[in-house]
Amino acid sequence: MTELIEALNPPVADRGTGSVRTGTPVSRVDGRAKVTGQAKYAAELPAPDLAYGVVVSSPAAKGRIVAIDTQAALAVPGVVEVLTHLNRPKIRSFDIAYKDMTAPAGSPFRPLYDDRVMYSGQPLALVVAETFEAARYAASLVRFEIDTEPHGTKLSANLERAYKPKPLKAGYEPPPDEKGNTDAAYAQAPVKIDAEFYSGVEHHNPMELFASTVIRDPSGHLTIYDKTQSSQNSRWYVSHVFGLSKNKVTVRNPYVGGAFGSGLRPQYQLTLAVMAALHLKRSVRVVLTRQQMFSFGHRPETVQRVKLAADNDGTLRAIWHQAIAETSPIEDYVEVVVNWSGMLYQCDNIKLDYKLVKLDHYTPIDMRAPGAAHGVHALEVAMDELAWELKMDPLALRLKNYAERSPVEDKPYSSKELRACYELAAKKFGWDQRPLNPRSMREGTELIGWGMATGVWDAMQMFARASAVLHADGKLVVSSAATDIGTGTYTVMAMIAAEALGLPLEDVTFQLGDSTLPVAPIEGGSSHVTTVGSAVAGVCEKLQKTLFKHAKALSHSPFANTRFKDVEFTGGALRLKRDPQVALPLAAIMNDSGVVRLEEKYLMLPNMLKQRKFRRLVHSAVFVEVRVDEQTGVVRVTRVTSAVAAGRIMNLKTATSQVVGGIVWGISQALHEETYADHRLGRFMNHNYAEYHVPVNADIHAVDVIFAEEDDRIVSRLGAKGVGEIGIVGVAAAVSNAIWHATGKRLRSTPMTPDKVLGGGP
């Protein structure tokens, strides 16, 4: 823990008056607003004459609504209306209107559309009242008569219905064609393993509940505070569903209390709140309950099978990886589960396969490192099994098969410092002291085991716009409709701008979280720094050039004969690189040129022609120590060392926090989290914090994060590749491998709860 605390509280002055440098640790610029309650979240924004909506959820998993009794609810004092599919305002009838920017193939869910019930927990009514309490009580009185139909919610009972999905989703790559002849290579190889893996459903539990506050002004304009990973995605969705023009709707999300993928798609509280606001012509707030947070998408239940084959010296001969995951009856939710197995290790024969099964649940949704969190888990546990078959050190097996080019497609990597990750983390962890045999280490009543795994995630860049205004007093305001879901966007963007113009951090404001700002992508895929950060760098470079032009034009300018490449912006001034004493403060340049305000706009488009020649990934190497009590089956993860190669790290402090958060979630995936369904009812049962386990402080011990040096100008002009999701990938596999090393028991399903540890089965 000490090391973690040191990493988060480095002995470096965070807020000097000098200009800030990217790469250093800087505290959140919005930290004070958050801890003092000044930062307002979607459910906290005040509005005059606000009505409160509470959702009524379906008790049945499938069927038709034949009768609704709202009488008792309407009789509750303060209740204004009960909205159902029978009396809701008009919404569009074509699928395309419901397609948000991240919608997969299919026909998106439409709240309160008709009498059809598609899943347990589906919103069937919205009770609106003058107070939240009246609405909540009245919601408990609404009764539905549902003509039920048989449902299917169990993946294992429906595997024969698996099909290949349509690959229509932004950012989704279907598995590549087979390389070589995997079956033949597997048959011929002397050492092989064949293992099946299971990962249960996980639900999103960000601290902030999903909420939308729709503030209607007398003209009918709607300003919506929504919990979302993109104000512009929610704005687009509302406009299309309700047929409202762009200038009739503004969506804001200045603060988001965690989202991790749950806010990539507009959630139904938004639709319902807008419905009520239009119907009642007043402002409305809808907040979901913690239970209802289990009704709008989840990490899909997934079964996998991995076959690996190797020569006696550890050379990989075949990689075969198949995944079957659930989706909903209406959409093909797809994620990249198996493709990673074609990107990590050198191998001539690789076959990857991914299929879906439709279950009567809501469509699954991305959750931190979607696909990789369990896909890489299966591969990395299988690699550990193979290492034991070979009697080889697990790290030595990875190094033996280290890929210098992405194997399945034979492309170079844009950068890959994975070898450095292995070396740095192994050294810090003390891996060379690891005994090869399981059950070799014990202390008191606990067996001790060490395990490791590789992590991998995409290094993505999308397109974005940014604008910047420099004022004569030296204050800079940079804007883009980006989002800060707690990752540190405000801080990192301000740092990039401050560094570019040589300004102190406190003189730079980064505006985000408003759909009227310049276009930004959804905050997802760990791509905001590479995308929005590059747009910020681009717009600031335009400001630099304009300032330089003004400086050159001044009479007696010390820069009259200087070229742009020979100057720098530091300490609030334009300076000559080779003689920084030759300088003009930015304020002086503006004053002397008679400008009070300089404004620039910039469109950042990725260089796709260049980028697509490379496989662009971030990597990690994770080493963990577990202590297992064989009497109780309780596992403690007592040490984690993770080394990450994610290009240039822009803010060492917030990046470290992202990886620590990912590691905590990885431990959670390994030991705690699973949503259990009662398949007779087709319903998720443990939909609360008492029964859905997430780690608490006592579950987390020493966590140590290292960044390998890497600088990738193919992924972004900043050299950054993006950090966030990589933190979780491989952690649960390393825990599984460590449990095996401690106990000799191989667990192939997550979470690895005490019953499985004691039982020893998968």
Judged by the rule CB under 6 A, the positions of this chain that interact with ligand MOS are 229, 260-261, 264, 366-368, 370, 524-525
For 303, phi then psi, to 5°, come to -110, 145
545 Cβ contact partners less than 8 Å away, ≥ 6 residues apart: 564
Q: How far apart are the first and last CA of the chain?
A: 32
Q: Which of 356, 311, 320 lies closest to 335, judged by CA?
A: 356
| CA 235/CA 223 separation, integer angstroms | 10
DSSP string, 554-616: STT-TTTT--GGGEEEETTEEEETTEEEEEEEHHHHHHHHT-SEEEEEEEE---HHHHTTSB-
Burial 365-390 (b: 16+ CB within 10 A, else e): bbbbbbbbbbbbbbbbbbbbbbbbbb
- How many residues does the structure list for the chain? 762
Least spacing, CB of residue 370 vs ligand MOS, in Å: 5
Q: Which is nearer to ligand MOS, 388 or 490 (CB)?
A: 490
Return the bridge partners of 19, or none: 504
Least spacing, CB of residue 259 vs ligand MOS, in Å: 6
Residue ranges in 229-338 assigned as alpha helix (H) = 231-242, 268-280
Q: How far is CA 325 from the centre of its chain?
A: 19
Q: Which is nearer to ligand MOS, 375 or 407 (CB)?
A: 375
Least spacing, CB of residue 273 vs ligand MOS, in Å: 22
Residue entry with tokens 């992590």: 455
| CA 336/CA 338 separation, integer angstroms | 6
| CA 438/CA 735 separation, integer angstroms | 14
Q: Which is nearer to ligand MOS, 366 or 673 (CB)?
A: 366
Least spacing, CB of residue 367 vs ligand MOS, in Å: 6
Q: Are 631 and 467 in contact (CB under 8 A)?
A: no
| CA 138/CA 581 separation, integer angstroms | 72
Q: Which is nearer to ligand MOS, 224 or 369 (CB)?
A: 369
Q: Which is nearer to ligand MOS, 123 or 727 (CB)?
A: 727
Q: Which is nearer to ligand MOS, 394 or 533 (CB)?
A: 533
Q: Are 318 and 386 in contact (CB under 8 A)?
A: no
Least spacing, CB of residue 369 vs ligand MOS, in Å: 7
Q: Are 175 and 361 in contact (CB under 8 A)?
A: no
| CA 565/CA 544 separation, integer angstroms | 11
| CA 568/CA 545 separation, integer angstroms | 11
Catalytic residue among 301, 380, 446, 725: 725
Least spacing, CB of residue 546 vs ligand MOS, in Å: 35
Least spacing, CB of residue 363 vs ligand MOS, in Å: 14
Which tokens sit at 368?
């931190």
Least spacing, CB of residue 512 vs ligand MOS, in Å: 16
Q: Which is nearer to ligand MOS, 203 or 307 (CB)?
A: 203
DSSP strand pairing (476-479 vs 508-511): parallel
Which tokens sit at 576?
């000559």
Q: Which is nearer to ligand MOS, 269 or 527 (CB)?
A: 527
Task: Output the residue with the shortest Cβ distance to ligand MOS.
Answer: 261
Query: Is 600 annotated in the active site?
Result: no
Q: Which is nearer to ligand MOS, 226 or 704 (CB)?
A: 226
Compute CA distances 141 → 54, 68, 75, 100, 114, whole Å. 12, 11, 10, 33, 21
Helix or strand (DSSP H, E) at 443: strand 441-443
DSSP E strand boundaries for 261-343: 284-287, 298-299, 302-310, 316-327, 331-332
Least spacing, CB of residue 527 vs ligand MOS, in Å: 8
Which of the residues are catalytic? 725
